[in-house]
A and B are shown apart, each in its own frame.
Chain A
Amino acid sequence: MLRFFLRRLLVAVPTLFLVITLAFFMMRAAPGNPFETSRKLPPEILAHVEAEFGMNRPLGQQYVSYLAGVARGDFGPSLKYQGKSVLDIIAEGFPTSLTIGLSALVLGGLTGVALGVAAALRQNRALDYWVMSGAILGVCIPSFVTAPLLRQGLASDLGLVPTGGLNGPISLVLPVVVLALPQIAIISRLTRAGMIEVLRSNYIRTARAKGLPERVVIGRHALRAALLPLVSYLGPACAGLITGSLVVEKIFNLPGLGKSFVLGALERDYTVVMGVIILYATLIIALNLAADMMLAALDPRVRLS
């Protein structure tokens, strides 16, 4: 197990490095200059400002010194927001995005698994049809349709939650629910399918034949195998949550990283964009690593391949 982990880790580090490099050079390849978004500067002033941010050096040199900075934990200053460093901006936006994303994942996961298992156990009966139909709706109705509808009903009309902004945990209720809905749909389908497949397998039949109580059969044996496809879904789930958070943060006016990120790319705020990419990339790589570990723990065949 440890060897497996180390092998995976050994690959994860260069992956991160590659991501940073790719993003760095792609960012610089885009036309536009961060210092000229408001006015075209006379050449001497432009040169001066660029020198201050170290951008007059050859690209390779900038890249190396950037990497060195990152290793020290210094992501540089924002090129757009005078006086604010990238770490400041990330520190302000990330907790919100993380809270919403994690909550949505947990809510989606728990609800989805529960619904999926219930549907699988009552296959082809009423509950199954309800869950499956709900799941299809959950996937097919985009979040920017559910969000305004829910907001109109729960926030504008009933006043149960605020219509926007960040004023404590109550402001996160609606965004989390909106983000979680598609996850509930997908996870419930995955769980149901996995569960059904497993319930018909030989070793479950064996377990039942051995006289084990149904709860143990399902809880200990079936669930473990059924959750396998779910673990490999974690990666896409994370990516989906990141994309979804952009929409949700916009609709509910939340100060998250999604907004800083898009704005940074459009304004050529290189340092902020790089900082956010590194953060997200590390997260996703770590998550994939965790998912692989879980998969290996649950399915010995993976470990040995």
Chain B
Amino acid sequence: MTGAILAPGSRRGAETMERAAVKGRSLWDDARRRLLHNRAAVASMILLAVFLAAAIVGPYLTPFRYDAINKSDVWAPPLTAGHLLGADALGRDLLARILIGLRVSLSIGVVATAVSLVIGVAWGATAGFLGGAADELMMRFVDVLYTLPFIFFVILLMVTFGRNFLLIFLAIGFVEWLTMSRIVRGQTLSLKQKEFVEAARAAGLSTPAIIGRHLVPNLLGPVVVYATLTIPAVILTESFLSFIGMGVQEPLTSLGTLISTGADEMDLAPWLLFFPAFVMVATLMAFNFIGDGLRDAIDPKDR
């Protein structure tokens, strides 16, 4: 997925990169065209757009509120009592709950990924480029943080500061940047070997200029791809946390919480598992297809 973007030693790859360095825009035009021809990616983008709209606007449009308890509708099957997708053990409308859960999961996904992106790219590119002792130091720091089991870190945070929405963003984003930085560093390392970097150095460009003008644009492709693929990973992580009881506080819910309660009541009320699971899997798959599509669009060599 990651190192595969730029095939080392391929002549066309180098030409592509050169062209990118010189006239950046037409590369992205090519990429966009290729992306739009990828049916799976296009379908996923449409799906995500629909889901996003539903998550933002939906909760205001449903006949029931997500936290309204309808006392006579406990475990109502789909298409009964006005509940399109049925109701849960408290009589709450499942469609409304799924839309709110989607909203929560998507927000956590996007925000945490953004956090991890900013920190990870900066850290990894600098470490990879500087190399030597600085690289060692910076990556050792990443290693140290890596070895703290994530769950422990999050539990401690939650135990100290309480179950806070903001905290979940930060905690997850703070962990994901580690992998991002490693990948960016790896990419930088291999990019460093390329001729155009040596050429730029020979031309007398300063280090920050090289990083900013040559490395980062070439990293952009893989970073965008990885970011698109990080969002589903974050959503998954958040649902793990919800599963062990560290997720968002009731009555708010996330797709993960809905699925974990639905799984328990699978034999009594299968719709409680099926619909949230379907929405989550579709969302995650959509992000994955788009990420794959982006990757293929930026470097068609892979296809």
In the complex, is A directly touching B at CB under 8 Å?
yes
B143: A residues at CB distance < 8 A: 15, 285, 288
Q: Which of B250-301 contact A (CB under 8 A)?
A: 256, 259-260, 263-264, 266-267, 273, 277, 280-281, 284-285, 288-289, 292, 301
Q: Is the CB of B303 within 8 A of A124?
A: yes
Whether A215 is near chain B, meaning CB under 8 Å from some CB there, is no
Pick the residue among B7, B152, B285 that contacts A261 (CB under 8 A): B152
Pick the residue among A201, A239, A285 that contacts B7 (CB under 8 A): A201
Question: In the bound complex, what is the Cα–Cα distance between A23 and B147 (angstroms)?
Answer: 11
B267: A residues at CB distance < 8 A: 152
Pick the residue among B160, B244, B280, B292 that contacts A262 (CB under 8 A): B244
Chain B's nearest CB lies how many Å from the CB of A295? 10
Q: Is the CB of A30 within 8 A of B156?
A: yes
A190: B residues at CB distance < 8 A: 1
Please tell me which stretch of A41-49, A53-61, A192-200 contacts chain B, meaning at least 4 of its Cβ atoms lie within 8 angstroms of it: A192-200
Residue interface mask A102-114, B partner, CB < 8 A = 1? 0000000000000
Whether A277 is near chain B, meaning CB under 8 Å from some CB there, is yes
Chain A's nearest CB lies how many Å from the CB of B56? 22
Residue interface mask B71-82, A partner, CB < 8 A = 1? 000000000000
CB nearest to A148 among chain B residues:
B263
Q: Is the CB of B259 within 8 A of A145?
A: yes
Q: Is the CB of B8 within 8 A of A243?
A: no
Given contact pairs A11-B136, A142-B239, A22 touches B148 in the complex (Cβ within 8 A): yes
Question: In the bound complex, what is the Cα–Cα distance between A101 and B34 (angstroms)?
Answer: 40
Whether A72 is near chain B, meaning CB under 8 Å from some CB there, is no
B204: A residues at CB distance < 8 A: none
- Number of A-B residue pairs, CB cutoff 8 Å, is 149
Whether B302 is near chain A, meaning CB under 8 Å from some CB there, is yes
Whether B144 is near chain A, meaning CB under 8 Å from some CB there, is yes
B4: A residues at CB distance < 8 A: 193-194, 196-197, 229
Question: In the bound complex, what is the Cα–Cα distance between A196 and B143 (angstroms)?
Answer: 30
Whether A82 is near chain B, meaning CB under 8 Å from some CB there, is no
Please tell me which stretch of A133-141, A162-170, A171-179 contacts chain B, meaning at least 4 of its Cβ atoms lie within 8 angstroms of it: A133-141
Whether A29 is near chain B, meaning CB under 8 Å from some CB there, is yes
Pick the residue among A124, A137, A242, A250 that contacts B149 (CB under 8 A): A242
Q: Is the CB of A243 within 8 A of B150?
A: yes
Whether B62 is near chain A, meaning CB under 8 Å from some CB there, is no
Q: Is the CB of A200 within 8 A of B140?
A: no
Q: Is the CB of B236 within 8 A of A142?
A: yes
Q: Which of B1-52 contact A (CB under 8 A)?
A: 1-4, 7-10
B232: A residues at CB distance < 8 A: 139-140
Q: Is the CB of A246 within 8 A of B244?
A: yes
Chain A's nearest CB lies how many Å from the CB of B8? 7
A280: B residues at CB distance < 8 A: 147, 149
Pick the residue among A137, A141, A194, A261 that contacts B3 (CB under 8 A): A194
CB nearest to A29 among chain B residues:
B160
CB nearest to B246 among chain A residues:
A262
A16: B residues at CB distance < 8 A: 147
Question: In the bound complex, what is the Cα–Cα distance between A32 and B161 (angstroms)?
Answer: 12
Given contact pairs A239-B150, A265-B156, A277-B149, A247 touches B240 in the complex (Cβ within 8 A): yes
Whether A38 is near chain B, meaning CB under 8 Å from some CB there, is no
CB nearest to B140 among chain A residues:
A11
Residue interface mask A10-40, B partner, CB < 8 A = 1? 0100011011001100110111100000000
Whether B174 is near chain A, meaning CB under 8 Å from some CB there, is no
A243: B residues at CB distance < 8 A: 149-151, 237, 240
Q: Is the CB of A266 within 8 A of B140?
A: no
Pick the residue among A144, A196, A284 that contacts B146 (CB under 8 A): A284
Chain A's nearest CB lies how many Å from the CB of B47? 13
Given contact pairs A189-B1, A196-B4, A142 touches B280 in the complex (Cβ within 8 A): yes
B103: A residues at CB distance < 8 A: none
Query: Ordered nearest first, which 3 A-B pairs have the shortest CB separation?
Result: A140-B284, A193-B4, A148-B263
Can you list 27 A-B contacts with CB-CB less than 8 angstroms, sorted by A residue number?
Answer: A11-B136, A18-B144, A19-B144, A22-B144, A29-B160, A124-B303, A140-B232, A140-B281, A144-B239, A145-B259, A145-B273, A148-B273, A193-B1, A194-B4, A197-B8, A229-B1, A232-B182, A243-B149, A246-B240, A247-B240, A247-B243, A262-B155, A265-B152, A273-B152, A277-B148, A281-B147, A284-B146
For the complex with contacts A11-B140, A145-B273, 14 further pairs of A-B residues with Cβ separation under 8 Å are A16-B147, A22-B148, A26-B156, A124-B303, A139-B288, A144-B260, A148-B266, A193-B302, A197-B3, A202-B9, A246-B240, A261-B152, A277-B152, A285-B147
**Chain A residues packing against B (C-beta within 8 Å):** 11, 15-16, 18-19, 22-23, 26-27, 29-32, 124, 136-137, 139-142, 144-145, 147-148, 152, 189-190, 193-194, 196-197, 200-203, 228-229, 232, 235-236, 239, 242-243, 246-247, 250, 261-262, 265-266, 273, 277, 280-281, 284-285, 288, 301, 305
**Chain B residues packing against A (C-beta within 8 Å):** 1-4, 7-10, 131, 136, 140, 143-144, 146-152, 155-156, 159-160, 179, 182, 186, 189, 193, 232, 236-237, 239-240, 243-244, 256, 259-260, 263-264, 266-267, 273, 277, 280-281, 284-285, 288-289, 292, 301-303
